[in-house]
Structure 1
Amino acid sequence: MKIHKKKRTYKRNIAKIGISFSILLIIGGIWQVIMEAKEMKMYTPVGEVLDINSHDMHLYRLGNGNNTIVFISGSGTPNSYTDFYYLQNELQQYAKTLSFDHAGFGWSKSTDSPRTVDNLVSDLHELFNKSNESPPYILVAHSLASLEAIRYAQVYPDEIQGIILLDGGSPQYYVNDLEIKSLILNRFSAILRVTGINRALGNIGIKLPFIGENIRYESLPEDIKNIDEAMYYKFIGNNSNLDVLKHINENAKIVIDNGYLQDIPLLILSSDSGNEWEKVQLELLNWSNDSTQRTIIDSKHYLHWSHKEIVVSEIVEFIKNISNNY
């Protein structure tokens, strides 16, 4: 008899815990929706918003000069303005700098157009046209954006003065990459976002994801931190990123099938992430006849934040070299 009572009590306690947890998740979800709406009203676009291929795209320009540097953010980066904030401010004395938000991130609206690499290139080319920018461009691409930068140079080789990859992967790496692991991380991040768990963790000082975006947050000025945090809470693990991840293998194959970059200058700045990643970086060397690779010791994947001064100096030197030869 006592055993049956203990079992009933145990089941009731489990039910109470489940109900309490569900209520907390509902409250967290409501909190997330309210705060998203509030933050998007508070933090209006810094720069311009243009109609590109039937959806709004955000563009931020800073600096002057004979060279034009275009920053391309990696997969899932919530906001390009905050991610390239330091680089744009430091490089504005050397060149005109541009950053933009991919569709569905930052101040750019989402689109129904699949996130194939050719559609990404089409968006960027149209952004240049609508903003009255003129080539040639130096593309600076982080992480997965290496595919976008290389593909742009394949389609519009005469518009590209050079390419700098910030811990980008090679097309050979991405064509074999297991998309499922990225998709699982995306869905996990989405659950944390929509339930408000991400926001709750942030309020006690725990910044996700674990791949290094917290390095950027800690390095930003206080007013820019607020924008970065709001963008992170709104976009991490969203469906726009999911669409990008679903096309990784396909996009890499398109790049591989369309050949190498011939003599377009290519600078590969790599994180210190072990022998396997070093092999991937060395694969990138073969994508141009004029290529250089450097591994930055003790750096992280977001090396433009973990070692931002070194990255700036490398970009400045790259500009000087190609300007003398162009």
Structure 2
Amino acid sequence: MLIVLILLVVGGIWQNIMLKREANLFLQRGDIYRVNSHDIHMYGVGEGKPTIVFVAGSGTPSAFTDFYFLQSELQQYARSVSYDHAGYGWSERTNIPRTIDTVVEELHELLQTAKEASPYLLVGHSLAALEVIHYAQKYPNEVKGILLLDGGSPEFYAKKNLEISSYLINRVTAGLRVTGVARALGNIGLLLPFAGENIRYKGLPNKIKEIDIAMYYNHLGDNSNVNSIRTMNENAQLVIDGGYLKDIPLHIVSSDSGGNWEKVQQQLLHWSNESHQETIANSKHYIHWSNKEAVLTKILNMLN
């Protein structure tokens, strides 16, 4: 027991030393904007309309690396932007509660401040389904369409037990991060799936890999995500209360997780009169990495 304790203490010291070193190695890609009294990082490439707005899922360490492949491939066809939620990537932490209204208003202000022209094609992964649906509820005239990447339905996220299990996963992964265990596992090639790292890291160029892995070791199980998790049920209910999207096109790309997840994906079909759902075989939750070419094709089809 004493040996384990010593190893964890040493691992924690190693983790802190490496975080300070990595912070000085990788300068931000993109721009920083002051929104709602804190700094938010945004990365944009390409030209044309509609502007594709990528929104990362819960706990994703860096939107820049998470959507790097899609933004690189799409820049010859359209303008695309991605941004880091508060406390992740190069965005500043904030104590402002992460209610869905606040998060959506911050995204709206960010797009306006950065002069990113509408209409927008909103692409949301996982829990970001709530964010992009609510954005369309609040600003329907700015939204050309929505693409969900293995997102859950508002009805799914309104369940109390999901909030509890998400919180427990966050705390466990936070423990692996601060004790240096996650970094030690990574050094022997075992990257955890909770942030998609075990899939995404392998597909990135070497220089981007360095940024991605540093963000992973910095933000895995970050406390900033706890605020989003604690308001998950309330946020989902607010989206439900906001009503359906009427004729805004809604495309749902789903992983083949089977079971209850299929029912969740079918629930999403009722959120728009112009909806379409497709399950991609042999896919993972981070579907834009496990099946990146298929997702790229779906986005190009929506642009056309």
Normalised by the size of structure 2, how large is the TM-score? 0.98
Residue 281 of structure 2: aligned partner: 297
Q: Identify the match of residue 146 of structure 1 among 121, 129, 143.
A: 129
Cα distance, 1:49 vs. partner? 0.8
Q: Which amino acid aligns with 2:97?
A: P
1:240-259 to 2 correspondence within 5 Å?
240-259=224-243
Q: CA separation in 1, counterparts of 2:112 and 2:146?
A: 20
1:283-294 to 2 correspondence within 5 Å?
283-294=267-278
Instruction: Tell me the SS of whatever aligns to 2:185.
Output: helix
User: Aligned pair 1:89/2:72, yes or no?
Assistant: yes
Cα 1:177–1:269 change in 2 (3 A) is: farther
Q: Which amino acid aligns with 1:116?
A: T
Cα distance, 1:27 vs. partner? 1.2
Would you say the 8 A contact 2:48–2:79 is kept in 1? yes
Q: Identify the match of residue 218 of structure 2 among 209, 234, 239.
A: 234
Residue 264 of structure 2: aligned partner: 280
Would you say the 8 A contact 2:252–2:276 is kept in 1? yes
Q: CA separation in 2, counterparts of 1:180 and 1:75?
A: 14
User: Aligned pair 1:106/2:89, yes or no?
Assistant: yes
Q: CA separation in 2, counterparts of 1:183 and 1:245?
A: 6
Q: Which amino acid aligns with 2:94?
A: T
Residue 48 of structure 2: aligned partner: 65
Cα distance, 1:185 vs. partner? 0.6
Q: CA separation in 1, counterparts of 2:34 and 2:289?
A: 31
Q: Which amino acid aligns with 1:254?
A: L
Normalised by the size of structure 1, how large is the TM-score? 0.91
1:182-197 to 2 correspondence within 5 Å?
182-197=166-181
Cα distance, 1:210 vs. partner? 5.1
Residue 310 of structure 1: aligned partner: 294
Residue 11 of structure 1: aligned partner: none
Would you say the 8 A contact 1:261–1:287 is kept in 2? yes
Q: CA separation in 2, counterparts of 1:209 and 1:32?
A: 20
Would you say the 8 A contact 1:67–1:138 is kept in 2? yes
Q: CA separation in 1, counterparts of 2:186 and 2:199?
A: 14
Cα distance, 1:22 vs. partner? 1.6
> Gaps (5+ residues) in structure 2?
none
Cα distance, 1:212 vs. partner? 3.8
> Gaps (5+ residues) in structure 1?
1-17, 321-326
User: Aligned pair 1:48/2:40, yes or no?
Assistant: no
1:111-260 to 2 correspondence within 5 Å?
111-178=94-161, 179-209=163-193, 212-260=196-244
Cα distance, 1:25 vs. partner? 1.2
Q: CA separation in 2, counterparts of 1:130 and 1:210?
A: 32
Instruction: Tell me the SS of whatever aligns to 1:286.
Output: helix
Count of paired positions: 303
Larger Rg: 1
Cα distance, 1:209 vs. partner? 3.2
User: Aligned pair 1:39/2:14, yes or no?
Assistant: no
Would you say the 8 A contact 2:170–2:221 is kept in 1? yes
Q: CA separation in 2, counterparts of 1:307 and 1:48?
A: 29
Q: CA separation in 1, counterparts of 2:187 and 2:17?
A: 16
Would you say the 8 A contact 1:212–1:300 is kept in 2? no
Offset from partner CA, 1:123-166 (integer Å, 9 cap, x none): 10110111012211110000000000000011111111100000
Cα distance, 1:23 vs. partner? 1.7
Q: CA separation in 2, counterparts of 1:32 and 1:240?
A: 18
Offset from partner CA, 1:263-309 (integer Å, 9 cap, x none): 00110000011031111111101100111111001111111011111
User: Aligned pair 1:79/2:62, yes or no?
Assistant: yes
Q: CA separation in 2, counterparts of 1:133 and 1:313?
A: 24
Cα distance, 1:235 vs. partner? 0.3
Q: CA separation in 2, counterparts of 1:201 and 1:302?
A: 20
Q: CA RMSD in A?
A: 1.0
Q: CA separation in 2, counterparts of 1:131 and 1:212?
A: 28
Instruction: Tell me the SS of whatever aligns to 2:193.
Output: coil
Q: CA separation in 1, counterparts of 2:227 and 2:193?
A: 19
Q: CA separation in 1, counterparts of 2:242 and 2:270?
A: 14
Instruction: Tell me the SS of whatever aligns to 2:243.
Output: coil
Q: CA separation in 1, counterparts of 2:84 and 2:160?
A: 25
Cα distance, 1:19 vs. partner? 2.3
Cα distance, 1:20 vs. partner? 2.1
Q: CA separation in 2, counterparts of 1:177 and 1:145?
A: 18
